[in-house]
Chain A
Amino acid sequence: MRPFVYRRPGDARTALAELAAEPGAMYLGGGTNLVDLMRLGVLAPRTLVDVTRACSDAIEVRPDGGLWIGAGVRNADLAAHPAVRRRYPMLAQALLSGASGQIRNMATVAGNLLQRTRCAYFQDPSKPCNKARPGTGCPARAGDHRNLAILGYSDFCVATHPSDMAVALTALGAVVHVEGAAGPYTVRMPGLHRLPGDEPERDTVLEPGDLIIAVEIPALPYAACSRYRKVRDRASFAFTVVSVAAAVDKSGGTIRDCRIALGGVAPVPWRAERAEAELRGAPIAEASFRRAADAELTAARPLTENGFKVALVRNVVVRALLDLVGVS
C-alpha cells in the first residue's frame, strides 16, 4: 500500500474543497470496499478524505412516510430502523442480506451505492480490465463470468453491480442528494448508475469530487408490502447471484401498481420497467407474473456460462410476486 494523506473534514463543503485541492484524492466512507481495493493495488489514492463526519448519520421520517437518510448512516443502523422495517421491508431485507454484521456496522449508505464490482478481473491488478485499467480489455467475456451480467452490459464490460441495498433503493425510486462543485443537485434512481458503454470506468453519473450527502426515499405507502429475495451460493456473506426487490399495490383482483428491480444481472441495479408496465392493471395470477418476468427478460443476452440466470430471474420474480400477493 502506498503512503497516503488522511483528512477528516467536519462538513461537506470543506470535504469538496479538500478533494478538489488534492489530485488523486478519494472520499472514504466505511472503507469496507475502498480499503480492500487499496490493499489489492487496484486503487491508490494519494489522499483519503474521510466524509463520515462531513455527512449526516441521521434518519428522518417525513410526515408523508418518506425517509431522509444521511449519507453517513451505517447499513446496520438503516436496516434496524423501525420505519424502514415497517414501511420499506424490502430495504431492510436487502441490507441484512448483504455482507456480514461487522461490515454492515462500518458500511455507509453512500459508500454502499458507490461500491465497485466484485468481478475477479477488476480486483486483480495483474490482469486486464477495462473498468479498473481502461483500455486493457475484458477477459471476463471469454473467461469466468458465471456470476456476471445478462442485461445492459457492453463489449467493454460485463460486470455486475454488487450492492443489495441499491437494488431496493432503485425499486423505491430513491432520490440521491449530491453536493457538487456548482452546488447541490439530485439524481433519481435508477439514474445514479450508468451502463458501461465504452466508458466502463465510470460507474455513476457523478462528476469527480461530487459528494452524496443524503438519500431520500419518496413516500410509497404500498412498499409496506414489499420484499427482497436474494439468491446466493453461500447462505451468508456472499454476493448475489440474482436478486429481486418487489413491491405490489393490489386492488381487488388486479395489480394497480408495482415496483420491481433486479440485482446480479446488470452493471447497474436494474429497474425492471418492462415487467412493471406488463403488470400494471394485470390480474393477480401466476401467468401475469410470468409474462411480466418474460417481458423484462426479452432483452437478456446471457453469456456462455450464465444462461441459467435467465431462468433464475424468472423463477425468483414470479416467486417474489406470488409471496407478496399471498398466493402459494
Chain B
Amino acid sequence: MTTVAARAVGTEADRVEGLEKVTGRARYAFEHPIEDMVYAAPVPSVVARGEVIAVDVAEALTFPGVIDVLWHGNAPKLERVGNAELHVLQSPRVAYRGQYIAVVIAKTLEEAREAALRVGVEYAVERHDVGLRADHPRLYRPERVNPDLPADVQQGDPDTALAAAPVTVDAVYRTPAEHNNPMEPHATVARWDAEGLTLYDSTQGATSLRDAVAPLFGIEPSSVRVIAPHVGGGFGAKGEPHPPVVLAALAARRTGRPVKLAVTRQQMFSVTGYRTPTIQRVRLGAHPDGHLTAIVHDAVEQSSTIHEFAEQTTTPTRIMYAAPNRRTTHRLVRLDVPTPSWMRAPGEAPGMFALESAMDELAAACGLDPIELRIRNEPEVDPETGLPFSSRNLVACLRDGARRFGWADRDPAPGVRRRGRLLIGTGVAASTYPVYRSACQATARAEPGGIFTVRIAAADIGTGARTVLTQIAADVLRVPLGRVRVAIGDSALPRASLAGGSSGTASWGTAVTRACEALRDELDRRGGTPSTGVTVSVDTTEENGEPSRFARHAFGAQFAEVGVDRDTGEARVRRLLGVFAVGRVLNPKTARSQFIGGMTMGLSMALLEESVLDREFGDYLNHDLAQYHVAACADVPAVEAYWVEESDPHLNPMGSKGIGEIGIVGTAAAVANAVHHATGIRVRDLPIRLDKLLT
C-alpha cells in the first residue's frame, strides 16, 4: 500500500460534498425525482382534545386532481408499536391541536393543499389542559429520563445541609418551549413496490428510521429502505421518528403510487417535536468561601398524553460540581400538547441555564469571582458515581477563556458600565456534554485501482460527518483523502446509530476505524489488492459493550458581553467566546462551525426563542419564522470558538468527544449573567425580552 506522511485527521479538510451542495446538485429528501409521483397534504386537528366524530371527504374528492382522502375510518391498519405518536390515522382520538387526522392525496401539491382545507371534520370537543405549572396535580416521576437515566438521584442529606448552610441560593428558573426549526423542513418521498417500502426522508438516522417504520407495517426491516444522502439540519427534530413519515408511507400504501409529503413550517410546531418548557428550582448551599455543601435541582416538564418524552434537565448537575449533599429530580405532567422530543442538547441546554445562573448568583452572594467559585468546586471524581473522569478540563477552559476574553480586570459591580445609552456587562458560564457511543457496523473495500470505499449508514445533517469519516478512513488506510469514498445516508448500508447525543463521529468513526484496520490487515495478509477487490466487515457491538471505568464528559466555558439599551430594554450580544475541552478535534474547520453554530443557537435561546402557547386553542401560536424569532445575522456579531489540547485515551480510537451540542450548553446562562452584570436585573425566565429589562 502507498503510505503518506501527512495525516488527514486534524486538518481543515473541505467538505467532500461541498461542491455538490453549492451547485445545487445535492439532493434533499423532497428533490428525488420519481415517476408517477403524487402529493400528500395532511389535515391537522383544530381542537386540542377530543374525538373525531365524522370526516366528510365528499367535497375534497370533487376537487380536481384529488386521488384519495385518508382518515381513521379508511386508512390501512398499522401494527401497534411503543410510540403511539406513530399510530397515524388509527384512532378517532385527538391528543393535541395539529395532530394529523386525515390526509389528501392529489396530483399536485397545490391541489392537495387546497382540498385539505375542504375536508369537513366534526369533533366531540373535550376541555383541554395545556398549562404547565409546578403545582400541577398530575405531576409524576417518570421511570427514566432521556436517553436512559434515573429520574431522581440523591446523595447525603441535602435538606439538612441546605438548612445549615451559611450562604444559600434558592431560585426558580424557567425556559419556554422551543422549536428546532432546521432550515429544511421534514420531508418524505414514500414508494411501495415488490421489494417493500422505500423512503427518501430527511432523517438523522437511516437505520433507526427503518427499524421504527418496519414494525408499523408488519414487515421486516430488510423490506424497508431509507435513503437520506443530504439533510438540511435537524438539531434533534429528525432524530426520533415523527408522524409525517408514517403518514407518507400510509398514503403511498393506500394509493399504490409514490407519495411526496413536505411538512410545512407551521406544522413543524406540532408534529415534529420541540424542547419541553421547564420550571426548575435550584437550591445551593455553600460556605462563605464558596465551597458548596448542597446542590438541589428539581425540574418540572411536560409531555403529551400519547407519548412520554422525559427530558433529562437536571442530569448535568449530577457531574458539574463537588458537594457532599445533592439531589436532582424530574417531574412530568402529561398535557394535551404536542409531544416534545430532542432539541440540541436536550437536558443540558435548559438545565445548565438554571444551574449556571444559580452559580452566578452564588458568586455574588459570596463576593467571589464566578470563575473562582467554579474552580473551588471542581470535583476530584464524578460526584455521582465516584468514577474518575477520563479527562476533565473545565478549569483549563475557564482560564484560557478568561485570558482570551479579557476577564481579569472585570469589575463585578452590576449596572455601572455605560457606553452611550447602553449598559454593558459580561458574564461567564460553564458547559458540559456527556460522551455517548453506540454500536455500528461498517464495511471497507479495496479496489485494484487503489480506491477505497467505506460503507456505513451514518448521517451527515450538515455537520461535516461525511468529511470527517473520510479523514478517519484515509489515515487508518494510510492513503490520501482523495482515494477514499465514504458512502452514508442509506439504510442499505451497514447499520449505524443515528446522529444524536453528539455521538455520531465517535460511533461511526470507531466502526470506520476498525473496518479500515481490518482491511489493511487483510491487504497485508494477501500482499496487495486482488483483481476482484476485497471487502471486510466489522461490528463494534462487543467493543462498545465494554463498560468504561471512567466518567466521560466534554466541558467548556462560555463568555458573553452584552449591551442593554437603557431606554428600551433591548439586549444584544456584543461578543461571545467559547473554549471547549472535547478530546481530539478531528477537523478544525467543521468543528469550529459546530461550536459557533451551537453558541449562536444558545444566544438565540437566551434572547429570542420562545414558542408561545395559546391557552384557548392549545397550540403554539407563533408557528412561523416571522413570529418565532431565531437569531438573524444582525443579532450575532463576534462569535469565537477555541479548544484546549486534550488527550484522552479512554474514549474511542480517535480520542474524540462529541462536539455537536456542547456549543449551545451554557451560552444562555453566560448571556443572562452578562445581562445581570450590565443591568443588575436577574432574568430567570427565558428569553430575555426587552419588557423584562424595561425599568
Find residues 559-579 in chain B having any chain A CB closer than 8 Å to their own CB: 567-570, 572
B404 at the interface (CB under 8 A from A): no
* Contact pick for B631, options A232, A234, A318, CB 8 Å: A234
Name the contact of A234 in the complex, choosing from B612, B615, B635 (C-beta under 8 A): B635
Are A233 and B629 within 8 A (Cβ)?
Answer: yes
Q: How far is the CA of A310 from the CA of B658 in the complex (A)?
A: 48
Contact A143 B567 (CB under 8 A): no
Q: Which of B109-117, B302-310, B372-380 contacts A (4 or more CB under 8 A)?
A: B109-117
CB-defined contacts of B113 to chain A, threshold 8 Å: 1
Partner of B627, one of A120, A142, A308, A318: A120
Interface residues on B, range: 20 to 34
CB < 8 Å: which of A2, A143, A318 contacts B616? A143
Residues of chain B within 8 A of A242, CB atoms compared:
568
B438 within 8 A of A: no
Check B634–A241 contact: CB distance below 8 A.
no
CA distance A319 to B422 in the complex (A): 13
Known: A126-B46, A234-B629. A120 touches B621 (CB 8 A): yes
Count CB-based A-B contacts (< 8 Å): 79
Given contacts A143-B614, A311-B694, A319-B567, contact A2 B632 (CB under 8 A): no
Taking a contact as CB atoms under 8 Å apart, the answer to whether B635 and A235 are in contact is: yes
Q: How far is the CB of A24 from chain B (nearest CB, A)?
A: 15
Complex Cα distance, B635 from A308, in Å, reads 23
A316 touches B632 (CB 8 A): no
Q: With A234-B635, A236-B633 known to touch, is A316 a contact of B567 (CB < 8 Å)?
A: yes
Which residues of B sit under 8 angstroms from A315, Cβ to Cβ?
A: 567-568, 694
Given A143-B616, A312-B694, A41 contacting B632 (CB threshold 8 A): no
Let me know if B144 is at the binding interface, CB within 8 A: no
**If A1-B113, A308-B694, A319-B567 touch, does A233 touch B689 (CB 8 Å cutoff)?**
yes
Is B596's CB within 8 Å of the partner chain A?
A: no
Check B634 against A231 for contact (C-beta < 8 Å).
no
List A contacts of B567 (CB < 8 A): 315-316, 318-319
> For the complex, what is the distance from the CA of A143 to the CA of B694, rounded to whole Å?
22
Interface size for chain A: under 10, 10 to 19, 20 to 34, or 35 or more residues? 20 to 34
Q: Which residues on the B side are within 8 Å of A311 (C-beta)?
A: 694
Q: Decide if B690 is an interface residue (CB 8 Å cutoff).
A: yes
Is A127 an interface position by the 8 A CB rule? yes
B6 is an interface residue with CB less than 8 A from chain A: no
In the complex, are the beta carbons of A143 and B46 less than 8 A apart?
Answer: no
In the complex, which residues of chain A have a beta carbon less than 8 angstroms from the beta carbon of B572?
235
B622 interface hit (Cβ, 8 Å) = yes
Min C-beta distance of A245 to chain B, whole Å? 16
Say yes or no for A250: interface residue by CB 8 A criterion: no
Pick the residue among A1, A118, A126, A312 that contacts B110 (CB under 8 A). Answer: A1
Measured between beta carbons, the chain A residues less than 8 angstroms from B389 are none
Contact B608 A2 (CB under 8 A): no
Interface residues of B in 362-390 (CB under 8 A from A): none
The CA-CA distance from A238 to B266 in the complex, in Å, is 18
Residues of chain A contacted by B612 (CB below 8 angstroms):
120, 144
Contact A312 B568 (CB under 8 A): yes
Contact A237 B110, beta carbon cutoff 8 Å: no
> Closest residue to A308 on the B side, CB-wise?
B691
Residue of A nearest to B570 (CB): A231
Q: Which of B266, B622, B634 meets A235, CB within 8 Å?
A: B634
Chain B residues positioned under 8 Å from A31 (CB to CB): none
How distant is A202 from chain B, measured CB to nearest CB, in Å? 24
- 10 pairs of A and B residues whose beta carbons are closest in the complex: A235-B634, A236-B634, A308-B691, A315-B567, A126-B46, A235-B635, A234-B629, A319-B567, A231-B568, A120-B621
15 example contacts (A-B, Cβ-Cβ < 8 A) are as follows A1-B110, A120-B627, A126-B46, A127-B617, A143-B616, A144-B612, A144-B622, A232-B570, A234-B629, A234-B635, A236-B633, A236-B635, A239-B626, A312-B690, A315-B568
Interface residues of A (CB under 8 A from B): 1-3, 40-41, 118, 120, 124-127, 139, 142-144, 146, 231-239, 241-242, 308, 311-312, 315-316, 318-319
Task: Using A144-B621, A233-B629, A235-B632 as known contacts, list a sample of 13 further A-B pairs with CB atoms less than 8 Å apart, ordered by residue number in A.
Answer: A1-B110, A120-B622, A126-B46, A139-B616, A143-B614, A143-B617, A144-B614, A234-B629, A235-B572, A235-B634, A235-B635, A236-B633, A316-B567
Residues of chain B at the chain A interface (Cβ within 8 Å): 44, 46, 110, 113-114, 117, 266, 421, 567-570, 572, 608, 612, 614-617, 621-622, 626-627, 629, 631-635, 689-691, 694
